[in-house]
Amino acid sequence: MSVPPSAKLRLESAALISNWRALNDLSGDACAGAAVKADAYGLGARSVVEKLLQAGCREFYVANWREASELEDLISGAAQLSVLNGVRESDMPFALQSLAKPVLNSLEQVHRWAGTGRPCDIMINSGMNRLGVNPGDLSGQDLTQLDVDICMSHLACADEDVVQNPDQLAAFIVASDMVTAKRKSLANSAAIALGSAYHFDCTRPGLSLYGGIPRPELNDIIVQVATPQVEILQVRSLKAGDRVGYNAQYIADRDHDIAILAMGYADGYLRSFSGKGIFSVQDISLPVLGRVSMDLIAIDVTGAPQLREGDWVDCAYDLPEASKISGLSQYELITGLGQRFAREWY
Ligand SMILES: *Cc1c(COP(=O)(O)O)cnc(C)c1O
């Protein structure tokens, strides 16, 4: 018997597809793929892959082989799946029979994969100093044993206007000419907005597919995909002076009603929303009062006196706005939404 959820994530298919199309258009001659690591930033990778395949997306990126193993059957033949964190020795048994390909991140991984006869991608370190082969280490390497599909790099600051962007671009252009690859790729969501010099053959948006806006150029083309919705467990009446929640961080300044919601920081709605977050019903704003608890939140329902136990309210979760309010990054806000939300696609 299934138990009805008390919190849901409302997910808009049309918004996801519209965001991918917008990023694909903005990528010019390049094709937009999709970063679906971390369960498609928490929204559910299998559903996201199915929908984006239908929209025409042909390149998907996960972080590791466990994630790849959960998506391979959807991808088979229809598209490509790349594993960004590379291939460890312990990944080899799985990787050698997988439909996914590793993104080789070091000379060790290059040697590990050489001679397998299987395709791969390669990551160049153009200045972020996270994963990737240093350009200086490429010269003198015999890469002819590799069947390289995408030669890629990753920008550290694409959401800012800093000289590191053109510097990394220049380093990538030089280094990628030393690798025989079918295609080149540099841009994440933010870098797509940096212009055609950054697009190469394929782009790799993640955040903006899911409603994140890392640069103002994307303001008018990216729309919200995910909205948390939560049930009211109890409505109560406060007298002026009554205290609410842990450490009494809200004290009623007048007599009014509040509602207690079935959601909390264990669901990824962190305490940085305490006294700041907003819920709503029919465009009526219902502010969070006091501390966010692990499983519960108190909201002011003065504006919506009709609300009762069992009614549902929406959480304001426009990512740029919620980021401003909470001080959390848009990435943290979307990937942090927990497993207690029933994910429902519309
Ligand atoms: C996560 C990731 C992306 C997607 O980045 P967004 O900023 O979410 O668009 C692209 N490329 C690499 C290598 C990544 O790790």
Specify whether the CB–CB gap between 4 and 340 falls below 8 A. Answer: no
| pLDDT single digits (tens) 109-118 | 999 999 899 9
The first and second tokens of residue 344, run together, are: 């429902």
- Quick one: pLDDT at residue 159? 98
Domain with CATH 2.40.37.10 in the chain: 226-317
Domain 226-317 in CATH: superfamily? Lyase, Ornithine Decarboxylase; Chain A, domain 1 (2.40.37.10)
Distance in Å, CA 238 to ligand 1 centroid: 47
Q: Ligand 1: does its nearest atom lie under 6 Å from the Cβ of 154?
A: yes
| pLDDT single digits (tens) 177-218 | 999 999 999 999 999 999 999 999 999 999 999 999 999 999
Q: Ligand 1: does its nearest atom lie under 6 Å from the Cβ of 82?
A: no
- How many whole angstroms separate alpha carbon 335 and alpha carbon 331? 6
Mutate to test the pocket of ligand 1, among 82, 84, 123, 200 (most ligand atoms within 8 A of CB): 84
- How many whole angstroms separate alpha carbon 330 and alpha carbon 213? 8
In what order do the strands lie in the sheet containing 119-123?
Answer: 34-35, 59-62, 80-83, 101-104, 119-123, 147-152, 181-185
What positions carry a catalytic annotation?
37, 246
The residue whose CA has the least distance to atom 3 of ligand 1 is 188
Longest dimension (CA), the chain: 77
| pLDDT single digits (tens) 14-42 | 999 999 999 999 999 999 999 999 999 99
pLDDT band at 78 (very low <50, low <70, confident <90, very high): confident
| Average pLDDT for 147-171 | 98
**Paired residues of 147 in beta bridges:** 119
Q: Which CATH number applies to 12-216? A: 3.20.20.10
Distance in Å, CA 111 to ligand 1 centroid: 25
Mutate to test the pocket of ligand 1, among 16, 20, 61 (most ligand atoms within 8 A of CB): 61
Distance in Å, CA 248 to ligand 1 centroid: 41
- Quick one: pLDDT at residue 144? 86
Percent of the chain residues topping a pLDDT of 90: 97
pLDDT at 140 over 90: no
Domain with CATH 3.20.20.10 in the chain: 12-216
Q: Which single residue is written with the structure tokens 């948006």?
A: 205
pLDDT band at 237 (very low <50, low <70, confident <90, very high): very high
- Quick one: pLDDT at residue 36? 98
Burial of 164 (0-12, 13-18, 19+ CB in 10 A): middle
pLDDT band at 76 (very low <50, low <70, confident <90, very high): confident
Among candidates 13, 99, 9, 101, which has minimal Cα distance to 54?
A: 13
Q: Ligand 1: does its nearest atom lie under 6 Å from the Cβ of 207?
A: yes
- Quick one: pLDDT at residue 139? 85
Residues 6+ apart with CB under 8 A from 17: 51, 52, 54, 55
pLDDT band at 57 (very low <50, low <70, confident <90, very high): very high
Q: Which of 20-34, 138-152, 188-202, 316-330 has the lowest mean pLDDT?
A: 138-152
